[in-house]
Chains A and B, each alone.
Chain A
């Protein structure tokens, strides 16, 4: 009915503009809030929330108690809702929307078919056209469909009808994909009265971490990603998400990480549940963590704590190591590796070790003569405007970063061809680089290279790849 008609029937009608995006966001928040009953929750269409309570109902004293608790909490928030608990997702969906009687409806286990039979065919989550088609041939109830030959149904109305029927009756599995990732380990703390005092929240955090540690220790695992969710009275969920550089089950360490971020939590009118979940765990063999009551003296621990503090503010990707690689392409010979990646133990390349008191490498008489390498390497190399005389000469002048340099001395060329055996490598002449170490009149030393050769399609181009000290 158009709004104008409705208003003419009932002038005092309260109206509000539809905001589908807001509705979806609100439903999502509601689904998140349902996380207090089970980690497996997800919004269902535009008007429902699915919660997989297998294995968690007993925590609430059984399904009726759980449903009553949920009902009461929804009431308190002035949300009208119908609750159904059934063996299958399809049956719960159908009962919640189409069953007679007062909510909550709890179907006894193993009785889906009988309970569904009197419901209209729309209860099978069918689209409008299919449902109308079924009604037109006189199939109005779910029970009518069960009596029909399956292949005829499938041929006439498509696979979807039999599939939905099987799913509702539990003959076909239907996994529920949760809202986010399902946590592997989860501990929960509920308050009798909502709390808002930061000191209480800290206490709760400490308790939960304390609860989680033995579980991790039992399986010899350490947490890599953690999520601490504060469920507020008004249904919002405030979260602290943490990542650690190395798997950890150090209580002091994890508590300190949470504590640092605890002031970002807005308790609103109060918090009724706190849930700590570990989303990613990695094996961590048992180790001596130190005597109780003693400050951590282990310096490695202190560095790990530091890295986690830095990582949680700047992002773990901001922390890296310089790893040597077996490559003669300069930018591939030393790469930035995230610190969370464990270093390769054996057979790893090493940077040429500094030898105290040694001579210039060229004079040391080593078999392998290492040409000097710059201390700063630009990746990608920066193009320069260069002038040179003969094909194999270094430039006598170049301009880089708005500065002009006149070359007074130069070493080179050192020819480095691309690694043609790599998939991204190229054996083309254009990929050959001739490196020169040049010194300008101020004494600054640069690593220049020329890409491409004379007499080919592209004229050679010059780049600055690094700066020497």
Chain B
């Protein structure tokens, strides 16, 4: 009678493996924030898997928030002792507008990047797949617009095989393309949407406050969709949960109250 009770943890583990094969094989990268990590399967972002990230509104075209979010993750991934090689990151993009000091501010050393410029999405996807086959690469990032389900499946399989983490940063040409592509299914293990929130006024300090983001986990294999509001706390790109989770739009500030610097 006690027999099945003893077997229960083992069975649970087996189900867990079936549900999340990648997390079990290659481990996870925790965000370091309990509120986020406890809701992710395995306690963090699965390594050796494909993750999809995009922004909201105009940022779907500019890809600034998505890049910052990925830079923060890569900063932690590449500085970890366990990461393979010297932490080279392959970043494939069609518009070369990534800015080094901005990346550094989010915790990613730009010297670790190898930038691959390719005009077409198909070439970027090809470069990503090549990168996923090269041991020694810590992670690959690709800024793509159109993504066929088959192509995402290939990337996911290549990532699973090599254990290299892949990030797809979706960047669309215009609102029309974004609307068409946004909700198409693909093989990515997680899908994140990062939206900016109006910054909260610091007491006694006019001007732009700390950046606040709404991080939505829209899709997660083996997990539930969740949503957090975070405030960027420091220069390392690590995010912390905002103390006040209520979404209050800041009242518009009259022009004469702008803070002057310098």
Query: Contact at A375–B98, with CB atoms within 8 Å?
Result: yes
Query: Contact at B136–A443, with CB atoms within 8 Å?
Result: no
Please report the C-alpha to C-alpha distance between residue A371 and residue B61 in the assembled complex, in whole angstroms. 25
| Contact residues in A for B113 (Cβ distance below 8 Å) | 321-322
Please report the C-alpha to C-alpha distance between residue A445 and residue B196 in the assembled complex, in whole angstroms. 9
Binding stretch for chain A, among B11-19, B183-191, B246-254: B246-254
Interface residue from A319, A330, A396, A406 paired with B116 (Cβ < 8 Å): A319
Please report the C-alpha to C-alpha distance between residue A80 and residue B62 in the assembled complex, in whole angstroms. 65
Please report the C-alpha to C-alpha distance between residue A444 and residue B131 in the assembled complex, in whole angstroms. 32
Query: Contact at A467–B62, with CB atoms within 8 Å?
Result: yes
CB distance from B235 to the nearest CB of A (A): 5
A-B contact count (CB 8 A): 233
Does A174 make an interface contact (CB < 8 A)? no
Please report the C-alpha to C-alpha distance between residue A353 and residue B195 in the assembled complex, in whole angstroms. 27
Does A292 make an interface contact (CB < 8 A)? no
| Contact residues in B for A305 (Cβ distance below 8 Å) | 134
Query: In the complex where A322-B113, A445-B211, A469-B68 touch, is A334 in contact with B198 (Cβ < 8 A)?
Result: no
| Contact residues in A for B237 (Cβ distance below 8 Å) | 354
| Contact residues in B for A469 (Cβ distance below 8 Å) | 64-65, 67-69, 102, 106, 196, 211, 232
Residue of B nearest to A309 (CB): B130
Query: Looking at chain B, what size class is its interface with the partner chain?
Result: 35 or more
Please report the C-alpha to C-alpha distance between residue A414 and residue B137 in the assembled complex, in whole angstroms. 39
Q: Which of A284-339 contact B (CB under 8 A)?
A: 299-300, 302-303, 305-307, 309-310, 313-314, 318-324, 330, 333-334, 336, 339
Query: Contact at B253–A409, with CB atoms within 8 Å?
Result: yes
Please report the C-alpha to C-alpha distance between residue A356 and residue B3 in the assembled complex, in whole angstroms. 49
Query: In the complex where A306-B134, A313-B126, A357-B234 touch, is A374 in contact with B64 (Cβ < 8 A)?
Result: yes
Query: Contact at A299–B100, with CB atoms within 8 Å?
Result: no
Query: Contact at A409–B207, with CB atoms within 8 Å?
Result: yes
Query: Contact at B123–A314, with CB atoms within 8 Å?
Result: yes
Query: Contact at B58–A321, with CB atoms within 8 Å?
Result: no
| Contact residues in B for A300 (Cβ distance below 8 Å) | 85-86, 136
Q: Which of B93-143 contact A (CB under 8 A)?
A: 96-111, 113-118, 123, 126-127, 130-131, 133-137
Secondary structure at the A interface, as helix, strand, loop or mixed, is mixed
Does A372 make an interface contact (CB < 8 A)? yes
Does B9 make an interface contact (CB < 8 A)? no
Query: Contact at A354–B130, with CB atoms within 8 Å?
Result: no
CB distance from B37 to the nearest CB of A (A): 18
Q: Which of A368-414 contact B (CB under 8 A)?
A: 371-379, 389-390, 392-394, 396, 401, 403, 406, 408-414
Please report the C-alpha to C-alpha distance between residue A303 and residue B85 in the assembled complex, in whole angstroms. 10
| Contact residues in B for A392 (Cβ distance below 8 Å) | 260
Query: Contact at A401–B58, with CB atoms within 8 Å?
Result: yes
CB distance from A442 to the nearest CB of B (A): 6
Does B59 make an interface contact (CB < 8 A)? yes
Please report the C-alpha to C-alpha distance between residue A239 and residue B59 in the assembled complex, in whole angstroms. 45
Residue of A nearest to B79 (CB): A356
Which of A343, A406, A441 has the most B CB atoms < 10 Å from its CB? A441
| Contact residues in A for B250 (Cβ distance below 8 Å) | 408-409
Query: Contact at B110–A314, with CB atoms within 8 Å?
Result: no
| Contact residues in B for A443 (Cβ distance below 8 Å) | 195-199, 211-212
Please report the C-alpha to C-alpha distance between residue A334 and residue B201 in the assembled complex, in whole angstroms. 31
| Contact residues in B for A406 (Cβ distance below 8 Å) | 252
Please report the C-alpha to C-alpha distance between residue A358 and residue B104 in the assembled complex, in whole angstroms. 13
Does B75 make an interface contact (CB < 8 A)? yes
Query: Contact at B262–A320, with CB atoms within 8 Å?
Result: no
Query: Contact at A319–B258, with CB atoms within 8 Å?
Result: no
Query: Contact at B115–A336, with CB atoms within 8 Å?
Result: yes
Interface residue from B61, B103, B249 paired with A401 (Cβ < 8 Å): B61
| Contact residues in B for A438 (Cβ distance below 8 Å) | 208
Residue of A nearest to B252 (CB): A408
Interface residue from A306, A307, A411, A444 paired with B58 (Cβ < 8 Å): A444
| Contact residues in B for A441 (Cβ distance below 8 Å) | 198, 249, 252
Residue of B nearest to A400 (CB): B58
Query: Contact at A351–B110, with CB atoms within 8 Å?
Result: yes
Query: Contact at A354–B236, with CB atoms within 8 Å?
Result: yes
Query: Contact at A355–B236, with CB atoms within 8 Å?
Result: yes
Does A127 make an interface contact (CB < 8 A)? no
Residue of B nearest to A325 (CB): B100
Does A466 make an interface contact (CB < 8 A)? yes
Please report the C-alpha to C-alpha distance between residue A328 and residue B136 in the assembled complex, in whole angstroms. 34
CB distance from A407 to the nearest CB of B (A): 9
Query: Contact at B130–A310, with CB atoms within 8 Å?
Result: yes
CB distance from A57 to the nearest CB of B (A): 46
Does B63 make an interface contact (CB < 8 A)? yes
Please report the C-alpha to C-alpha distance between residue A418 and residue B136 in the assembled complex, in whole angstroms. 41
Residue of A nearest to B113 (CB): A322
Query: Contact at B137–A306, with CB atoms within 8 Å?
Result: yes
CB distance from B213 to the nearest CB of A (A): 8
| Contact residues in B for A409 (Cβ distance below 8 Å) | 199, 201, 206-209, 250, 253, 258
Please report the C-alpha to C-alpha distance between residue A308 and residue B164 in the assembled complex, in whole angstroms. 19
Does A37 make an interface contact (CB < 8 A)? no
| Contact residues in A for B69 (Cβ distance below 8 Å) | 469
Does B36 make an interface contact (CB < 8 A)? no
A-B contact pairs, 22 of them (CB 8 A): A299-B85, A299-B86, A299-B136, A319-B115, A319-B117, A321-B111, A321-B115, A322-B113, A323-B100, A324-B100, A351-B104, A352-B101, A358-B235, A360-B235, A364-B235, A375-B71, A375-B102, A390-B255, A401-B58, A409-B209, A443-B198, A469-B69
Listed from nearest, the 4 A-B pairs whose CB atoms lie closest are: A299-B136, A469-B68, A334-B100, A375-B102
Q: A313-B126, A408-B252, A409-B250 are known; give 10 further A-B pairs, CB within 8 A.
A: A303-B137, A318-B116, A320-B115, A356-B79, A376-B64, A376-B102, A412-B262, A413-B260, A415-B262, A469-B64
